[in-house]
Amino acid sequence: MAFGIRLHVWGQHGLFTRPELKVERVSYDVMTPSAARGILEAIHWKPAITWVIDRIHVLEKIRFQSIRRNEVGHKAPAGTIKRAMNRGDLEGVQLLVDEDRQQRASTVLVTPAYVIEAHFVLTARAEPGDNEGKHLDIFNRRAAKGQCFHQPCLGTREFAAHFALIEPGAPLPARNPKAQTAELGFGAPRDLGFMLWDIDHAAPGRPSMLFRAVLQDGVMEVPQPGSAGVKR
Amino acid sequence: MTTLSRRHDFVLIFDVTNGNPNGDPDAGNLPRLDPETNHGLVTDVSLKRKIRNYVELARTGEAGHHIYVQEGSILNEKHREAYVAVRPGDAKAEKDAKLNPKDDKEAGKLRDWMCANFFDVRTFGAVMSTGINCGQVKGPVQMTFANSVEPILPVEISITRMAATNEAEQKKRAEGAEESDTRTDNRTMGRKHIVPYGIYVAHGFISAKFAERTGFSEADLELLFEALANMFEHDRSAARGEMTTRKLIAFRHDSALGNAPAHLLFDRVKIGRNVDGEFRAVDDRGLGNLRPARKFSDYLIDIDREGLPAGVEILELL
């Protein structure tokens, strides 16, 4: 793809929650395409463009750790807020964490590192001034300088993602030699099962779209939007 | 209030002496450990809790500085009764069990109102179940887990109490030991877990672009830094031991999007062992014979100011 970019991302932990295991969160083995899209959007995004993830390179061994935290059980009820707003008074608008406790464990990835290969396409909302070169330049400039709209994260916000642009033509960062195992699909492809591809925010009910994730030689190919690989 | 227009990244360095900085509910309240490296952990939510508590303490009742996610009892609850008595006309809103905003515009209004009134919503964000898409506020401040600089050794301390919880317990004990005196009869044993000493580092990010959305201002930033510097001073308890913020270093970028990658800035803050006044990296193999660190002066903090990227300023706030 002519307008492709490659971004190296890494961090101390990562948590790409499986939708079926989200009360006590369990991470996928590999970053999902939607999480990768979120990272790119944290650096540069406009309604005029959509990021499309092409493939994800896994650079580190897949390792997990369990962390249990005290979390609150409820969200802020809009009704209470509205009532307080109409009343012009703050009484009763708060969450008492001690009385609303849930202890939840998260199974998180340890020291994940990836290379995201992606490109973008212009959307129907692109204006005459929008062209590929402009957005590509903005992204490359920001990523090279470490600029971002907000610090991207590896799944959840407490696990910050560090990022570095891989310049066109530059070699990929070296994969941890210890990671070159069957677990990453070296020797034979490793089936990761169905993985979240992205959420269809345009459709009613916001359905999830899935794809069959396969790791081959440390690389996960991501199907293009609209292709047969994306299941609903 | 002027909203924040420059991106900030910060490094928070704090230590603990003979205390448990953050218990692990999975491990019987043992201090949190990275099981692979034995480095201590303190979760982001634990630190955010302390920031909230500090702001609540320091700015009680000040407009725009209420705390949404509260701990413990609310004194204001008492005022409500008076309020109901004064304004009986609110019955309609009180009666409806479920109220959802009609459209995006109303959801936006609710969100703005929450941001304007609550410091923690404006800073860390909140999820509000408005029933439609815009029910979330993403706050500008994002924090990571704090890691100890060196592996820590949690120590279990057994303690005794000279009383029984209830009569049944007392009776049981009395049956078990006929000849012993009454003082030991009623004794119960407990456990405390402490870290003799640990120095921890947490990283934080403040997005100026998100600050624009929630109205997080320059004054809020000052308050946040004040809270980070003082939060342990007001969080004393039997479990915590002595905790202190030792250093708070912020990197101020010239622009909203930032001028340098955060990880390169964080790498400029190095913590090493103090060997007769000389800086030695903690992974230096020559440190094997050194005694374990037990005080802050066993460490040296080195900030590399050489060749700072253009448009980045180092603020040493503590």
> Tens of pLDDT along B263-311?
999 999 999 999 999 999 998 888 888 899 999 999 999 999 999 999 9
Residue B83 has pLDDT above 90, yes or no: no
**B75 close contact with A: CB closer than 8 A:** no
Q: Name the residue in chain B with its Cα closest to that of A94.
A: B68
Whole-number pLDDT of residue B182: 55
Domain boundaries, chain A: 5-68+104-231, 71-103
- pLDDT mean over B14-33: 94
Give the Cβ contact number of residue A39 at 10 Å: 23
User: Does residue B176 have a pLDDT over 80?
Assistant: no
Q: What is the pLDDT of residue B91?
A: 43
Say if residue B79's pLDDT is above 50. Answer: no
Task: Return the bridge partners of A14, or none.
Answer: A109
B316 touches chain A (CB under 8 A): no
Contact status of B61 with chain A (Cβ, < 8 Å)? no
Confidence category of residue B175, pLDDT binned at 50, 70, 90 = low
State the CB neighbour count (10 A cutoff) for residue A24.
13
Per CB-CB distance under 8 Å, the chain B contacts of A113 are: none
Q: Of A81, A153, A157, which has the smallest distance from its Cβ to B110's Cβ?
A: A81
Residue listed under structure tokens 């992204």: A139
State the best of A41, A75, A81, A89 to mutate against chain B, taking most chain B CBs within 10 Å: A81
In the DSSP assignment, the letter for residue A183 is G
**Residue A136: pLDDT above 60?**
yes
pLDDT exceeds 80 at position A92? no
Residue A77: its chain B contacts at CB < 8 A?
Answer: 128-129
Give the tokens for residue A14: 């990562």
Instruction: Give the pLDDT score at B184.
Output: 57
Mean pLDDT, chain B, whole residue set: 84
3-class secondary structure, A200: coil
Closest chain B residue to the Cα of A149, Cα to Cα: B257
Q: Which of B116-120, B131-135, B273-277 has the lowest mean pLDDT?
A: B131-135
| Residue of chain B whose Cα is closest to the Cα of A146 | B261
- Specify the pLDDT at position B81: 42
> Which residue in chain B has the smallest CA separation from A150?
B207
Between A100-114, B122-136, B201-215, B280-294, the lowest mean confidence (pLDDT) is in: B122-136
| Secondary structure E strands in A152-189 | 162-165
Q: Which residues in chain B are contacts of A104 at CB distance < 8 A?
A: none
Tell me phi and psi for residue B200, to 5 degrees: -120, 150
**Secondary structure letter of residue A27 according to DSSP:** B
Whole-number pLDDT of residue A96? 80
Interface test with A, best of B6, B106, B129 (most A CBs within 10 A): B129
Q: For residues B123 and B177, which has the higher predicted lDDT (pLDDT)?
A: B123
Mean pLDDT of B110-135: 78
Look-up of token digits 């955060």: B262
The pLDDT of residue B131 is above 60: no
Instruction: Pull the structure tokens for residue A143.
Output: 């990523």
Q: How far is A160 from chain B (nearest CA, A)?
A: 6
The alpha carbon of A207 is separated from its chain's Cα centroid by a whole number of angstroms, namely: 17
**Which positions in chain B touch A159 (Cβ < 8 Å)?**
144-145
Checking if the pLDDT of B35 tops 70, the result is: yes
pLDDT for the residue B227:
96
**Mean pLDDT (whole number) for A71-92:** 78
Query: Which of A196-205, B102-111, B115-124, B306-315 has the weakest average pLDDT?
Result: B102-111
Contact B207, B140 (CB under 8 A): yes
Query: Looking at this protein, which amino acid is placed at residue B107?
Result: A
Q: Which of B59, B38, B11 is nearest to B268 (CA)?
A: B11
Of A78, A90, A145, the CB nearest to B128: A78
Contact (CB<8Å) B261/A164: yes
Residue B143 has its nearest CB partner, among A13, A145, A158, at A158
Tell which wins on pLDDT, B186 or B87.
B186
Between the alpha carbon of residue A2 and those of residues A119, A136, A168, B51, B237, the distances in Å are 8, 10, 11, 47, 60
Reported ipTM: 0.77
B residues 286-315 near A, CB within 8 Å?
A: none
Q: Is B80 on the interface with A (CB under 8 A)?
A: yes
B131 at the A interface (CB within 8 A)?
yes
Query: Does B35 touch chain A if contact means CB atoms closer than 8 Å?
Result: yes
SS3 A6: strand
Please name the member of A68, A142, A149 whose beta carbon is closest to the beta carbon of B25. Answer: A68
Q: What is the chain A residue with the closest CA to B120?
A: A94
Instruction: Specify the pLDDT at position B167.
Output: 76
User: Which residues, 6 or more positions from B273, have their beta carbon under 8 angstroms from its beta carbon?
Assistant: B279, B280, B281, B282, B284, B287, B290, B293, B298, B299, B300
- B80 with A91: Cβ contact below 8 A: yes
Chain B neighbors of A148, CB-CB under 8 A: 207, 257-258
**Max CA pair span of chain A:** 67
CA distance B251 to B248: 10
Nearest CA in chain A to B49: A97
Picking from B41, B314, B47, B312, the residue whose alpha carbon sits closest to that of residue B204 is B47
Chain A residues inside the 8 Å CB shell of B110: 78, 81-82, 85
**Shortest CA distance to A94 belongs to which of B263, B228, B75, B39?**
B75
pLDDT range class, residue B178, cuts 50, 70, 90: low
Q: Which residues pair with B161 in a beta bridge?
A: B188
Q: Domain A5-68+104-231 adopts which CATH fold?
A: Alpha-Beta Plaits (3.30.70)
Q: Which residues of chain A lie closer than 8 angstroms to B44, CB-CB?
A: 158
A to B CB pairs, distance under 8 Å: 163
Distance between CA atoms of B318 and B316, rounded to whole angstroms?
A: 6
Residue predicted with more confidence, B110 or B300: B300
Which residue of chain A comes nearest to B207, CA vs CA?
A: A150
> What's chain B look like in SS3?
CCECCCCEEEEEEEEEEEECCCEEHHHCCEECECCCCCEEEECHHHHHHHHHHHHHHHCCCCCCCECCEECCCCCCHHHHHHHHHHCHHHHHHHHCCCCCCCCHHHHHHHHHHHHHHEHHHHHHEEEEECCCCCCEEECCEEECCEEEEEECCCEEEEEEECCCCCHHHHHHHHHHCCCCCHHHHCCEEEEEEEEEEEEEEEEEEECHHHHHHHCCEHHHHHHHHHHHHHHHHHCCCCCCCEEEEEEEEEEEECCCCCCCCHHHHHCCEEEEEEECCEEEECCCHHHCCCCCCCCHHHEEEEECCCCCCCCEEEEECC
- From chain B, the residues in CB contact with A110 under 8 A are 36
pLDDT at B195: 96
Task: Name the one residue in this structure whose structure tokens are 């779209």.
Answer: A209
User: Percentage of residues in chain A with pLDDT exceeding 70?
Assistant: 99
Closest residue to B80, CB basis, from A92, A146, A164: A92
For A93-103, what is the mean pLDDT? 82
The answer to whether A31 touches A16, Cβ cutoff 8 Å, is yes
Q: How many helices (H) and strands (E) does chain A have?
A: 3, 12
Angle CA B113–A46–A32, to nearest 5: 90
How far apart CA A194 and CA B158 sit, in angstroms, is: 49
> Which is it for the CA torsion B210, B216, B219, B222, positive or negative?
negative
Q: What is the dihedral of CA A210, A214, A215, A219, to 10 degrees?
A: -70
**pLDDT number for residue B268:** 96
| Predicted confidence band of residue B103 (pLDDT cuts 50, 70, 90) | low
Q: How confident is the model at residue A79 (pLDDT cuts 50, 70, 90)?
A: confident
Query: Which contacts qualify for B274-279: CB closer than 8 Å, 24 or more apart?
Result: B274/B298, B274/B299, B274/B300
Each residue's pLDDT tens digit, B49-66:
999 999 999 988 788 898
Helices A132-145, A33-43: axis angle to 10 degrees equals 90
Taking only the tens place, the pLDDT of each residue in A162-184 is: 999 999 888 999 898 888 889 89
Q: What is the pTM of this model?
A: 0.83
Tell me the per-residue pLDDT of A218-227, one tens digit each, with 9 for 90 and over.
999 999 998 8
Chain A positions touching B105 (Cβ under 8 A) are none
